[in-house]
Homo-oligomer: A and B are copies of this chain.
Amino acid sequence: MSITTVSDALNGKGRLPDETRSRVREVAERLGYRPSAAARTLRTGRSGLIGLTVTTYGEEPFTFTEFAYFAEMARAATSAALGRGYALVVLPASSRHDVWGNIALDGTVVIDPPDQDPLVSELYRSGVPVVSDGKPGNCPVTAWVDNDHEAAVLGILDHLSEAGARRIGLLTGTSTDTYTRLSTEAYLAWCAKVGQEPVYETYPAHDPAAGAVAADRLLARPDRPDAVYGLFDPNGTDLLAAARRYGLRVPDDLLLVCCSESDVYATTEPPITTLSLKPRRIGTTVVNLLIDAIEGVDSGTGVDIARLFPPRYRTAGNGPPPGTLMPTELIVRASSQRRSPRTTVSPPRPPGEV
- Contact surface of A with B, Cβ cutoff 8 Å: 32, 34-42, 45, 47-49, 61-62, 64-65, 71-72, 74-75, 78-79, 82-83, 85-92, 95-96, 98-99, 101-104, 125-126, 264
- Check B86 against A99 for contact (C-beta < 8 Å): yes
Q: List 11 A-B contacts (CB under 8 A).
A: A34-B101, A37-B47, A37-B103, A38-B38, A38-B45, A38-B47, A41-B104, A61-B82, A62-B78, A82-B92, A87-B90
Note all chain B residues with C-beta closer than 8 A to A99. Answer: 48, 82, 85-87
- Check A37 against B104 for contact (C-beta < 8 Å): yes
Note all chain B residues with C-beta closer than 8 A to A264. Answer: 264
- Check A37 against B74 for contact (C-beta < 8 Å): no
* Bound-state Cα–Cα, A46 to B6, Å: 25
- Check B41 against A38 for contact (C-beta < 8 Å): yes
* Bound-state Cα–Cα, A64 to B36, Å: 29
Which of the residues B72, B78, B85, B102 comes within 8 Å of A40, measured between beta carbons?
B102
Note all chain B residues with C-beta closer than 8 A to A90. Answer: 78, 87-88, 90
Q: Which of A71, A85, A89, A90 has the most CB of B within 10 A?
A: A90
- Check A87 against B89 for contact (C-beta < 8 Å): yes
* Bound-state Cα–Cα, A33 to B140, Å: 20
- Check B85 against A75 for contact (C-beta < 8 Å): no
- Check A62 against B88 for contact (C-beta < 8 Å): no
* Bound-state Cα–Cα, A89 to B41, Å: 16
